[in-house]
Structure 1
Amino acid sequence: MARRIVRTAGQLAILSLLAFVLVALLDSRYRVLPNSIHNRLPQHHDQQIITDIEIASCLKLLSGCKKEAPWYRIEKDLYLEEHWIHHAFVHVVRKHEKELLDGEPVVLDIKISRTQPESEKEGEEWERKGAGMWVLKGKLRHNVVTAVDVLFGPDAEDPRLDWKLKENSLRIGKEARLSVRIGTPDSASETHKKPKLRIGKTGKFKIIQIADLHLSTGVGECRDEWPVIKGMKCEADPRTLDFVSRILDDEKPDLAVLTGDQVNGETSPDSQTPLFKMADMLIKRGIPYATIYGNHDDEGSLKRQELMSLTETLPLSLSEPGPETVPGVGNYVLQIMSHKAANHPAATLYFLDTHSYSPDEKKYPGYNWIKPEQIAWFQEEHEHLKSGIKEYSGIHLQMAFIHIPLPEYLHRNMIVGEWREGVTAPRYNTNFSKALIDAGVGVVTCGHDHANDYCSLEKQNEQPQLWMCYGGGAGFGGYGGYNHYVRRVRLFEIDAPAGRISTWKRRESDDIGKLDEQVIVDGGNVKET
C-alpha cells in the first residue's frame, strides 16, 4: 500500500513538472498565462542583467522568428504585424549577476545612430548590431542595462522610473524605438507609492476631467479637425496633448480623471505607446491621475485588465482594478482628505466601469450597462465609508465618474452647456442614478458622446437631486463634427469649507477661459442653477 502511494505521488510530480514546462513553453511563444503569472516567470525577473541584444528578421511563412535559448524574444513585432512578408523582433540575453562568468561583458548602453558612437572609457567598445543599433559592452558596474522594451512613433514617451527612451527609430519596422532601464530598481522605485489626495490650504481641490483622448500608436490621424490650421497637417496626438497640456499648465489641477477611451483601440496595435503618452503628460507636471475605461480602450493590443495592470505600476497613478468579484475593471473609490482633519475625508470619488457593447444586441442594441453587482458594491462601499465620514466635522461631498452616460441623461432637464448629438446611453436601465441619489452623490460625469458637454439636472418631487455632466471630447483622434465642434475638457473645483462643487469647461481654440461656469452643489446640497 505504501509503495503504491509513493509510486502515485511520483507520477503526479512528474506530470506536474511536465505540465509546468509545457505551459511555460507555450507562454514564451503565445503568452497564454495572465500577466500576474507571466511577469513572474524567470525571463521577467527584475534582478537580471542584459548581456547581449540582437534583432532577428524573418519571413512570416517560413519561420516563427524566434532565436534559441538563451535568447529571449520581446513580444512586439517591429512591423506591428503590418508587413505582408516579414516579421522582426528584438531578442536579448538575460542573466543573473551570480551567473556571469568572471569578466564576462554586459550591455552598458544602447544607441541608435548611423555612425559608431565614441567610447569614453578604456575597455568599453560599441558594437554594431544592425538596424542602426549600437551596443556598448564592458565589465559589470553599478549602472548597466537591466531591461529593454519597444515603443512606436516619433512622439513616443516612457514615463517609467529608471527607463530612458532612446532617440531615433530603428532602421527596421514601423518607427520602432527602444527604451532601456538602466540599473536594478531600488526599493524606492520598485515599490509604487500612491500619492495622497488632500484639500489644499485654501480649502479647495481642483479636478480636471479628460474625456476621450483617443490616442494612437504613432501620431494618429485627425478626425473632424476644427478649426483647420491652414498649411499644417493635423497630427491627432500631438495636437491633442498640446491642448490638454496647455490647460494643465494654466489650471494646475490637483487630480486628473480620465473617463475612458484614452486609447483609440483600432489605431493602437501597441496600446502601451498611447497609454504612456497619456501618463507622461501628467507625470511631468506632478499631477496624480485616476483612470476608467471606455468601449475603445481594449480594442487594441491590451485588454482592460492588462491596461490596468500596466497603469497601476506608473508613477502618480491612483488607478485600481477593483474587486475581482465585481463585473468590470476599474470599480474603485478614492477619498480626498481634509486639510484640517488629517484622517478624515472631505470628499469621496467613486469610479465605475460601464463596460463596452451590449451583451444582448437583439433586445437591447447599443451599449452595455452598469450591472446590479456593481450597484451593490457601490452601496456597500458607501455604507462602509460612512463611519469615517460621520467623524468629519465639515460637509462631506461626493462625485461619481463613468464613461457611458446613464439612461437618465436622456431627460435633459435644465441643460447648461451644449447638446449636439444623440445620447448613446444603454437601452437597459439598472437605475444606478437612484442609487447615487440615495447615497447623496451630487454629481456624476461621463464621456463617450464627444460633442455633448452639458450638465443636466435630475429632479425628484421637483427637488434637485443629481447633476449629470459630460466632459466633452478632448482628442482629435476621435470624432468631432456636429457643426464644427471644438475639443474641450471639464474642470470641477471642490470648496470644502463651503461644501460647494463648481464646474466649467476649457476649449482648445478661441479659449475665453472658464466656459459655462456653474455651482452644482452648495452647502452640501444639489443646487438648481
Structure 2
Amino acid sequence: MKKYFILISTVVFYFVACQSTSTPERIRLKFNSEGKFKIAQFTDMHIINHSPNTAKTFATIKYVLENEKPDVAILTGDIVIRRPSREVWPLLAQLFEEAQIPFTIVFGNHDVETITRDSVFDILSHSPYFIGEKGPENIHGVGNYVLPVYGSTSSKPSLLLYCLDSNAYTEYKQFGPYCDDWIHFDQILWYREQSKQFTQSNNNQPLPALAFFHIPLQEFNNIVGKETTVGTKGENNTPGKVNSGMFSSMVDMKDVMGVFVGHDHDNDFIGMEYGIALAYGRVTGVDTYGKMERGARIIELNESKPCQFTTWIRTPKGGIEHTYYYPSGVTKFAEETAIYQPSLPVNPTKQGVSYSYYEAKFKSVDEIATAKATKQGTQNNFSIKDAASADSFGYEFRTWINIPEKTLYYFYTRSDDGSKLLIDGNLIVNNDGSHGTKRAVGSVALESGFHELCLRYFEDFREKELEVGFSSKNILETVIPDNILFIPE
C-alpha cells in the first residue's frame, strides 16, 4: 500500500509540474540546421507496474536519449502490459519530457489487454512532448496517422512518418485464440489516400517516407538469408496470418523507404525487398523474453540525400551495432572487413566501351571465348541494339570503369539471355544460361580509381535484353553512366 501511495503521488506531482514547465507551444518535426533528422525506435518495453526491472528499462531509454539525442522517439508497441497500467504511462512520458524530445507510439498486441487504446491517447495527451494522434474513427485501430517532417529552411514537408496500428488479435475464430491480427484493408486505403495527397502536393513526386507499426508483414520472411540482410534472427518471424496487401501498396505508392516493427524480441535484422527496407527494432524492455542486450534502433536521414538513410542498433554495453546504409544494403562491418581490389595504374582519356561481336549458337557466355568475332568497335555504353542478327549472337565488352570512392559496390545485370560481369578478372555477377529476362547481383570492394570491367553476353532466341548497373552506400542504384567508362588503350 505504501509503494502504491508513493507512485500515485509521483504521478500527481508530474502532472502539476507539467503545468509550470517551459514547453514548446507546438512541436513541428524538422531537419536540423545541419540537414540531419534522427529517429530512435524503442520497441517491446513490456513495462510492468511495480516491477524492479522497470527502472532498468527506463535506464536503457535514458541512455539512448542522452547519447543519440534523437529528434523524435517512436515506441512501436507492447509498451505497458500489466494492470494497473494507467499510472505508468505518465511516468514513461516523463522520460521524454525531461530529455525534451518529442515522442509518439503505435500499439502492440499486448497494450490493449489492460486499457483501451483511446484511454492511452487521452493520458498521453497531457504530455506536451507527445505528438501522436488517434487518427480516423472509421477504420480499424487507433493511432493511424502521418507525421510530416519539414525541411531545415522549408515550410513544406520533406519526409513522412506513417504510424499504423497493426491491431492485436484477429476476430476470425477459424485462426484460433490469440492469433495475431494484421493491418486491415480500410487502413491500407487510408494510407493510399494520404500518400496520394502528399504526392500531388509535391509536384506529383512521392515524398520519401518511413512506416512504423508493431506486427511484422509476411514479406519479412522473404529477406531471410539474402546477401543484403544483416543483424540477428534468433526466432521465427510471426506476422499476421493474412497478407492484406500493405506491402504491395507501399511498392505501388513508391514513397515508403523502410518499415520498422517489433513483436519478435530475438530478431533485430534488416534487409531489402523490392527496394523497401524491412527492419526489426531492438527489444528495449527487461521484463520480457529475449537474449539480446536491450537497446533501440536509430535511423538517421540527411536532407541532401532524401532517398537514403543510415540505421544502426544502440545499446548501453555494446555501443553501436549493425550499421546499415539504405538503399544499397551495404553495412559498415562489410566495409571495414572487406578485401579491397586495388585500382590499376592506367590513365585512359577517351570515354566509351570497346566490343567484339559474335554470331553463333551459344548456350553459355563461356563459349564466346572460342568463337570468332565478326565485328569490333567502340560505343558509349553496354548496348546490343546494333546487333546484326535477331538471334544467336554474343558480345564481349571491355572498359575501364572509374570508381569514385573506396567502398563496397553492388553490380547487377538484367539480361535475356545470359551474361557475366568480371572486374579485374574476378567474376562478380553470374547471370549465365539460356533464360528469359533475369536479374543477378554481386558485390565487390573496390579502391577508388580505374578498374578493368569485362562483360560477356549472349542472345539465344526470341526476346533479348541487357542492362548493367551498380550502387554503393552513396550511389542510388542506377545504370552505369557513360562518363565513368573509358576505352582501354
Q: Report the TM-score range of the alignment, normalised by the length of the smaller protein.
A: 0.5 to 0.7
Structure 1, residues 102-141: CA drift from partner, whole Å, max 9, x if none? xxxxxxxxxxxxxxxxxxxxxxxxxxxxx9xxxxxxxxxx
What SS is found at the alignment partner of 1:514? strand
**Does the C-alpha gap of structure 1 residues 524 and 153 become closer, same or farther in structure 2, counting only changes over 3 Å?**
farther
**Does the C-alpha gap of structure 1 residues 493 and 478 become closer, same or farther in structure 2, counting only changes over 3 Å?**
same
Q: Is 1:491 the equivalent of 2:298?
A: yes
User: Alignment length, in residue pairs?
Assistant: 327
The AA in structure 2 aligned to 1:469 is A
Percent identical across equivalent pairs?
Answer: 29
Q: How does 1:474-485 map to 2 (within 5 A)?
A: 474-480=284-290, 484-485=291-292
1:238 corresponds to which of 48, 55, 60: 55
Q: Is 1:449 the equivalent of 2:261?
A: no
Q: CA deviation at 1:157?
A: 4.6
Structure 1, residues 453-506: CA drift from partner, whole Å, max 9, x if none? 0012113xxxxx2111001210011212xxx32212100001110222110001
Q: CA deviation at 1:364?
A: 6.6
Answer 1 or 2: which has greater strand percent: 2
Separation in structure 2 between the aligned mates of residue 310 and residue 398 of structure 1, nearest angstrom: 28
Q: CA deviation at 1:290?
A: 1.1
1:426 corresponds to which of 230, 236, 240: 240
Q: CA deviation at 1:439?
A: 1.9
The AA in structure 2 aligned to 1:327 is H
For residue 224 of structure 1, what is the aligned residue in structure 2? Answer: none
For residue 403 of structure 2, what is the aligned residue in structure 1? Answer: none
Q: How does 1:149-160 map to 2 (within 5 A)?
A: 157-158=10-11
1:520 corresponds to which of 326, 332, 347: 326
Q: CA deviation at 1:525?
A: 5.4
For residue 405 of structure 1, what is the aligned residue in structure 2? Answer: 216
Separation in structure 2 between the aligned mates of residue 248 and residue 289 of structure 1, nearest angstrom: 11
Structure 1, residues 156-189: CA drift from partner, whole Å, max 9, x if none? 853xxxx525xxxxxxxxxxxxxx7489x79x99
Task: Give the conservation status (yes or no) of the 8 Å contact 2:182–2:244.
Answer: yes
What SS is found at the alignment partner of 2:248? helix
1:202 corresponds to which of 27, 31, 34: 34
For residue 149 of structure 2, what is the aligned residue in structure 1? Answer: 336
Separation in structure 2 between the aligned mates of residue 390 and residue 303 of structure 1, nearest angstrom: 40
Separation in structure 1 between the aligned mates of residue 130 and residue 93 of structure 2, nearest angstrom: 8
Separation in structure 2 between the aligned mates of residue 426 and residue 152 of structure 1, nearest angstrom: 41
What SS is found at the alignment partner of 2:134? coil
**Does the C-alpha gap of structure 1 residues 259 and 524 become closer, same or farther in structure 2, counting only changes over 3 Å?**
farther
For residue 275 of structure 1, what is the aligned residue in structure 2? Answer: 89
Separation in structure 1 between the aligned mates of residue 40 and residue 215 of structure 2, nearest angstrom: 18
For residue 362 of structure 1, what is the aligned residue in structure 2? Answer: 174
Separation in structure 1 between the aligned mates of residue 475 and residue 112 of structure 2, nearest angstrom: 37
Task: Give the conservation status (yes or no) of the 8 Å contact 1:194–1:318.
Answer: no
Q: CA deviation at 1:213?
A: 1.0
Q: CA deviation at 1:412?
A: 2.5
Q: CA deviation at 1:452?
A: 0.5
Q: How does 1:286-365 map to 2 (within 5 A)?
A: 286-300=100-114, 302-341=115-154, 343-363=155-175
Q: CA deviation at 1:151?
A: 6.6
Separation in structure 2 between the aligned mates of residue 523 and residue 291 of structure 1, nearest angstrom: 31
Q: Is 1:211 the equivalent of 2:43?
A: yes
Structure 1, residues 314-336: CA drift from partner, whole Å, max 9, x if none? 11111100000111000000010
Query: TM-score by structure 2 length?
Result: 0.62
**Does the C-alpha gap of structure 1 residues 447 and 526 become closer, same or farther in structure 2, counting only changes over 3 Å?**
farther
For residue 389 of structure 1, what is the aligned residue in structure 2? Answer: 202
For residue 278 of structure 2, what is the aligned residue in structure 1? Answer: 468
Separation in structure 2 between the aligned mates of residue 504 and residue 196 of structure 1, nearest angstrom: 25
Structure 2 gaps, min length 5? 328-472, 479-489
What SS is found at the alignment partner of 1:278? helix
Structure 1, residues 333-379: CA drift from partner, whole Å, max 9, x if none? 001000122x1111001011000012224237621011100000000
Q: How does 1:38-49 map to 2 (within 5 A)?
A: none
**Does the C-alpha gap of structure 1 residues 416 and 506 become closer, same or farther in structure 2, counting only changes over 3 Å?**
same
Q: CA deviation at 1:152?
A: 5.9
What SS is found at the alignment partner of 2:200? helix
Q: CA deviation at 1:243?
A: 1.4
Separation in structure 2 between the aligned mates of residue 212 and residue 402 of structure 1, nearest angstrom: 11
Separation in structure 2 between the aligned mates of residue 442 and residue 526 of structure 1, nearest angstrom: 14
The AA in structure 1 aligned to 2:37 is F
Structure 1 gaps, min length 5? 1-78, 80-130, 132-149, 166-179, 221-234, 460-464
Task: Give the conservation status (yes or no) of the 8 Å contact 1:201–1:339.
Answer: yes
Separation in structure 2 between the aligned mates of residue 418 and residue 412 of structure 1, nearest angstrom: 13
Query: TM-score by structure 1 length?
Result: 0.58
Task: Give the conservation status (yes or no) of the 8 Å contact 2:38–2:299.
Answer: yes
Separation in structure 1 between the aligned mates of residue 162 and residue 475 of structure 2, nearest angstrom: 17
**Does the C-alpha gap of structure 1 residues 406 and 152 become closer, same or farther in structure 2, counting only changes over 3 Å?**
farther
For residue 258 of structure 1, what is the aligned residue in structure 2? Answer: 75
Structure 1, residues 42-87: CA drift from partner, whole Å, max 9, x if none? xxxxxxxxxxxxxxxxxxxxxxxxxxxxxxxxxxxxx6xxxxxxxx
Separation in structure 1 between the aligned mates of residue 4 and residue 191 of structure 2, nearest angstrom: 37
Separation in structure 1 between the aligned mates of residue 200 and residue 29 of structure 2, nearest angstrom: 19
Separation in structure 1 between the aligned mates of residue 208 and residue 73 of structure 2, nearest angstrom: 18
Task: Give the conservation status (yes or no) of the 8 Å contact 2:8–2:87.
Answer: no
Task: Give the conservation status (yes or no) of the 8 Å contact 2:300–2:309.
Answer: yes
What SS is found at the alignment partner of 1:449? coil
Separation in structure 2 between the aligned mates of residue 331 and residue 397 of structure 1, nearest angstrom: 18
For residue 503 of structure 1, what is the aligned residue in structure 2? Answer: 311
Structure 1, residues 234-271: CA drift from partner, whole Å, max 9, x if none? x211011111201110111000000011102xx322x2
Task: Give the conservation status (yes or no) of the 8 Å contact 2:112–2:168.
Answer: no
Separation in structure 2 between the aligned mates of residue 194 and residue 305 of structure 1, nearest angstrom: 22
Q: How does 1:123-202 map to 2 (within 5 A)?
A: 157-158=10-11, 164=13, 181=16, 193-202=25-34
